[in-house]
Copies of this chain bind each other. A is one copy, B any other.
Amino acid sequence: MTVTHRETPHVPNPSPDTDAPVGVWLNGARGSVATTAITGLLALRAGMADSTGCVTDTGMLRDAPLASWNDLVVGGHDIVDTPLEKKAESLVDSGVIPAPMLAAVRGSLPEVERNLRTGYDARTETAPLAEVVERLAGDIEEFRARNGLSRVVVINVSSTEPPADHRPEHDDLDALTRAMADPDDKALPASSVVAYAAFQAGCGFVDFTPSTGARLPALEMMAQRERVPFAGSDGKTGETLLRTALAPMFTSRALHVLSWAGVNLLGGGDGATLEDPRNARSKLSSKSGVLPALLGEDVTAPLHIDNVPDLGDHKTAWDHVSFEGFLGVRMSMQLTWSGVDSTLAAPLVLDLARLTAAAHRAGHVGPIEELGFFFKDPIGTDEHALAEQAQALAAWANALDGRGDS
C-alpha cells in the first residue's frame, strides 16, 4: 500500500460517531515538544496552520474514526512553572514556532494554562508513591470531569530518565502496590508513576520518551485490569526514522551492511538532559534495537549523542553506512539529517492522542503494537520497517470500530 497523494488542504475527519471531546494530558506539558503541540493545535483550530506533519490527516488513515482537532482538550503536569507563553516565545526565537502563529493563538494559551498542574518530582517529593499516584490521578480525573471529556489519553513527553534498575516488585502488581505505600521506597521511576496514575484514572497511556513508563509486567497487568490501551516507546522523528526507511532497502537488495555509525548533535532541553550519560543510556538503548532487527544481524554501530547548545532544537544527525555488494566490493552511504526536533515530534503527539483515544473507545486493551510506526522501540512487536509499520497502522486504524464504547 502506498500513500501516493498528500491531501491538501486536509479534510478533517468528521467525528459524528466519536463521543467527543477527548482529553490530552501531557506529562512534561511545559517542555518543547508539549508547547509546540499545544501551540500548533491552537493554530490548527484557528486556521492559521495546516496539518503538515500529522499522519492522522492523510489519506492513509482516511477511514479511522478519529476525534477532530476541535474535539481535543489539553491539560498536563510539569515540575517547572515556566508559563506556556514564555516557553512558546523561546520556541519562536529558536525557529520552532513562527512568530505570527504565536501571535494568533496567544489569547488561547491561558485556557490551556488553567489545565496544568504540578507533576511528580522525585528529587523533592516526600510522600509515599501511593499518595503521589492519588494526587496525579486525581488531577486527571478532575480535568476529565470539569471538561466533560469522554476519555483522556496521558502522554509522557517529560525529560528522559536513566534506565531503572530491575526490582522483583516490577513483575508483581500487588507487591508493587504494597511497596508504593512505603514513603522511603521509590519503587518506580517517575515515568512509571505517571503510567500507574494514568491507568488508575482509567486512561490510555503513551510514552513518547525512552523512559520506563508502562514497560513493566506489573503495569501491563494493571492496564489489562483497567481495560486501557497503552503505546510507546520513544517517538521516532529523526535518525531512527531514516534508518527504518533505509535499512530495509539494503536487506531487500541483498546488500550486506558492515557498519552503520551515527552521531547526533542537538541542544535545547533534550540536549542538556542527554548530556548526562545516565539519561543518554535510555536513549541509546531505545535506538539500539533497530538495526539488528532490520539487518538480521549485529553490525558495528557506534552511536553518539552530543549536546551542542547553539543548535537548540535544530538537531543534526550524520550516519555513515558501509556495505558490501556483489563480489565483496565495498561501498558506502552517508546521510545528514537537519531536523527541528519539536516540529517533528509535536504532530505525532497529536496523532497519538487521536489514535489512542480511538483505540480506547474501540475497546483495545494493553499494548497497541500497530502504533509501532511512531516509535523507535515499539512495544509488543519487532517490526521496525517503516513501510510495513505504515501498512499495519493503516489496516488497524481504518478498521477500528467507531461506534463507541460497547
Is residue A406 contacting chain B, with contact meaning CB distance below 8 A?
Answer: no
- Give which listed residue, B2, B55, B330, contacts A248 with CB less than 8 A: B2
Scoring A5, A327, A340, A386 by chain B CB atoms within 10 A of each residue's CB, the highest score goes to A327
Copies in the complex: 4
Is residue A357 contacting chain B, with contact meaning CB distance below 8 A?
Answer: no
Contact B316 A308 (CB under 8 A): no
With both beta carbons as reference points, the residue of chain B lying nearest to A95 in the complex is identified as B329
Q: Which of A354-374 contact B (CB under 8 A)?
A: 373
Is residue A161 contacting chain B, with contact meaning CB distance below 8 A?
Answer: no
Complex Cα gap A337–B43 (Å): 34
Q: Which of A372-406 contact B (CB under 8 A)?
A: 373, 382-383, 385-388, 390
Contact A310 B95 (CB under 8 A): no
Among A62-70, A209-217, A256-264, the stretch that binds chain B is: A256-264
Contact A327 B310 (CB under 8 A): no
Contact B309 A325 (CB under 8 A): no
Complex Cα gap A272–B322 (Å): 18
Complex Cα gap A4–B248 (Å): 8
Contacts of A127 in B (CB 8 A): none
Is residue A148 contacting chain B, with contact meaning CB distance below 8 A?
Answer: no
- A216-249 vs B, Cβ < 8 Å mask (1 yes, 0 no): 0000000000000000000000000110011011
Contacts of A107 in B (CB 8 A): none
Contact B254 A329 (CB under 8 A): no
With both beta carbons as reference points, the residue of chain B lying nearest to A390 in the complex is identified as B252
With both beta carbons as reference points, the residue of chain B lying nearest to A92 in the complex is identified as B99
In the A-B complex, list the 6 residue pairs whose CB atoms are closest, starting with the nearest.
A387-B387, A53-B326, A5-B296, A302-B306, A245-B249, A258-B310
Further contacts, 4 of them, CB under 8 A, given A2-B248, A52-B254, A331-B343: A43-B327, A261-B308, A318-B334, A331-B340
A contact set with B: CB distance below 8 Å: 1-6, 8, 36, 39-40, 43, 49, 51-55, 57-58, 60, 95-99, 101, 241-242, 245-246, 248-249, 251-256, 258-259, 261, 263, 265, 293-297, 300, 302, 304, 306-311, 316, 318, 320, 322, 324-340, 343-344, 346-347, 373, 382-383, 385-388, 390
